[in-house]
Amino acid sequence: MKSCIVEQPRTACAIGGFYTALAIPGIVPVLHCGPGCVSQSAALLASANGAQNAHPFNEHIIPCTDFGEADVVFGGGERLRKNIENVARSYKADMILAINGCSAEIVGDDNEEVARGFSGGDIPVLAVEAAGFRGNNLYGHSQVLKAILNHVEPTGKAVGGQVNVWGVAPFYDTFWAGTLEKIGEALTEAGLAPNIIYGRNGGLDKVKAVPSAEFNLLLGPWVDLDIVRLLKERFGTPYFHYPAIPVGPTETARFLRELGEFAGLDRNRVETRAKEGEERYYHYIRRSLLWVYRCRALPKRYYINSGASTALSLHRYLVNDMGLIPCKIFLPEDVPEEHQERVEGYFRDVELDSPYDVVFTGDGGLAAQEIAASGRPKWSLFYFGSVWDEPLSNNERIPFLSVSAPQGNVMAMDKTYFGYDGALRLYSDYYEQVASKGLRTS
């Protein structure tokens, strides 16, 4: 039996996939699960993760059968059907997802049959299985996306320059909204036509346009790899996989160049953009140096304890642009085994030849155990984690940033660490922590 401690969860359960539905305006999830399941995911993925809530259908009006003991005995399918009927009459919905949680799955309530009962109606109703014992919210995210994309019909022809963006898990990636907006702007600047299904400008029309893309862009180490493969299979759309959401001048330039090569973009335009971004970035960095190098011991080593996508983006920036060295990287995300080797490889692909471990785990509490026992002077470290890690940072005075779900009392709003400008946010967040928690030398 493998390690049997799982504490300080950094992921919610599969039912949390409903956030992927809520991130697409017009889609309403109807949950067939216990009365508290929504609030469990809502805490970890939204309210305690960047002070987020869904809108316009917020967490407190998500239709839910509030599965109870009677449903175990008699089945709850009929109540699910009634709830869907009411949603169709009451919510401005373009699509409804009937999502099964743990209890409904164990007792065998057939949400597919319930969904089929609505076929031919004005609003499509799709069934999604998202039992918490089958996986975490990233499994749920995949289940929701697959259901939606399997429902989409081919459009017949590609629209020039259209690129769909994948890899960012809404809500779970605390900065998803700001990041996707900025990725969209960057792609537009590069001469492409981004199609992003989530967020303020997303919606079912964007979903329906997915098959007409020239290519799919996957930004991230493993999440949504199954999705771009599915889209290739269903619609023949090729995909460009860049493993990290780029943060900082090194990664952003590399991303732009590789994207340019894949998409056949104008090379001068790409280089001009990279040069402009770099100049602006270093302008502000230079303006901070007197303060940064003013009588303080600067940490050189870091630990990360976060989701894989966030960890990889940070890690590449910290190594390549900030000149830091990792101690150890913990990924308490239950990365599926089939992806682990690939993901580890992405972490090694940096401008540094130094040994460090990448740990795949489901135990959020593992990192704190090791850091506390590491024996390194705490001022020489920087710790990236979630609000679960904050007490260790406070008690030991380790400079610390909450970067991953659940981030705690952080307001995400439109914040992002993406690109050149985002790196300036991260750089400043980092040194504000060093200044307030680190070792002063005078």
Partner 1 sequence: MALNLSTPEVESREQRLGSITGYFGTQKDMAAKGCAGCLGNRKRCFTTSSSCAHTHALSLLGPIEGALVVDHAPTGCGAGIINFSIGRIYAKEKGLGHYKIVSTDLREQDTVFGATDKLRATIRAAYERHKPEIIFVTTSCVSSIIGDDVWSVVQEMREELPVPVGFAAVEGIKSKIWASGFDAYCHAVSDAILTEPRKKTDSVNYIAFNEFGRELLDPLIERLGYKVVYLTGNSTMEDYRAASQSALSFGQCGAQSSYLAGALEQKFGVKYFQSHLPFGGIGFERFYRDIAKFLGKEDVAETVIAEERAKYGPELARLREVLAGKTALIALGASYAYEYSRILRELGITPKHAVAYHYDPRLDNQSDDLVAAAADALELDDDIDTTVNDAQELETYLLVKREKPDLILSRAHGASAWGALCGVPAVEGRISLHIFGYPGLVALGRVIEEELANRNFVRKLGAVFRSPFTEEFERRDPHSFFEDEGDGAIG
- CB nearer to partner 1: pick between 134 and 269: 134
Report in angstroms how near the CB of residue 255 gets to partner 1 at its nearest: 32
Distances (CA, A) of 346 to 135, 241, 389, 404: 24, 12, 25, 19
| Pair 50, 174: CB distance under 8 Å | yes
Burial 334-367 (b: 16+ CB within 10 A, else e): bbeeebeeebbebbeebeeeeebebebbbbbbbb
Q: What distance in Å separates the CA atoms of residue 223 and residue 243, rounded to the nearest whole number?
A: 10
| Pair 335, 308: CB distance under 8 Å | yes
- CB nearer to partner 1: pick between 15 and 322: 15
- CB nearer to partner 1: pick between 81 and 316: 81
Contacts of residue 433, defined as CB under 8 A and 6 or more positions apart, other chains included, come to: 382, 399, 400, 401
| Pair 207, 24: CB distance under 8 Å | yes
- CB nearer to partner 1: pick between 210 and 387: 387
Q: DSSP class of residue 401?
A: E
Report in angstroms how near the CB of residue 77 gets to partner 1 at its nearest: 15
Report in angstroms how near the CB of residue 34 gets to partner 1 at its nearest: 4
- CB nearer to partner 1: pick between 99 and 190: 99
Report in angstroms how near the CB of residue 11 gets to partner 1 at its nearest: 7
Partners of 187 in the β-ladder: none
- CB nearer to partner 1: pick between 76 and 178: 76
Shortest CA distance to 220 belongs to which of 166, 146, 260?
Answer: 166
Report in angstroms how near the CB of residue 152 gets to partner 1 at its nearest: 23
Report in angstroms how near the CB of residue 308 gets to partner 1 at its nearest: 17
